[in-house]
Amino acid sequence: AKALKEIKRQINIPLIADIHFHYQLALESLESGVDCLRLNPGNIR
């Protein structure tokens, strides 16, 4: 999640985060500027 901001800066396509198990990473991904966030609610702790 920490590298997403730099990755987003370097690409010209939508960046989608696919997060499993750790909701904190989902929140960090959103703060980093991802275009879309995919969660599997069945395995979030």
Mark out the alpha helices in the chain (DSSP H runs). Answer: 4-10, 23-31
pLDDT band at residue 45, thresholds of 50, 70 and 90?
low
- pLDDT value of residue 19: 87
Mean pLDDT across the stretch 30-41?
90
Q: What is the domain partition of the chain in residue ranges?
A: 4-43
CA 3-18-29 angle, 5° bins: 40
Please write the tens of the pLDDT for every residue from 12-29: 999 999 988 888 999 999
Q: What is the CA radius of gyration of the chain?
A: 10
Query: Which residues, 6+ apart, have CB-to-CB distance to 17 below 8 Å?
Result: 1, 4, 25, 26, 29, 30, 34, 36, 37, 38
Kindly state the percentage of the chain with pLDDT values over 90.
62
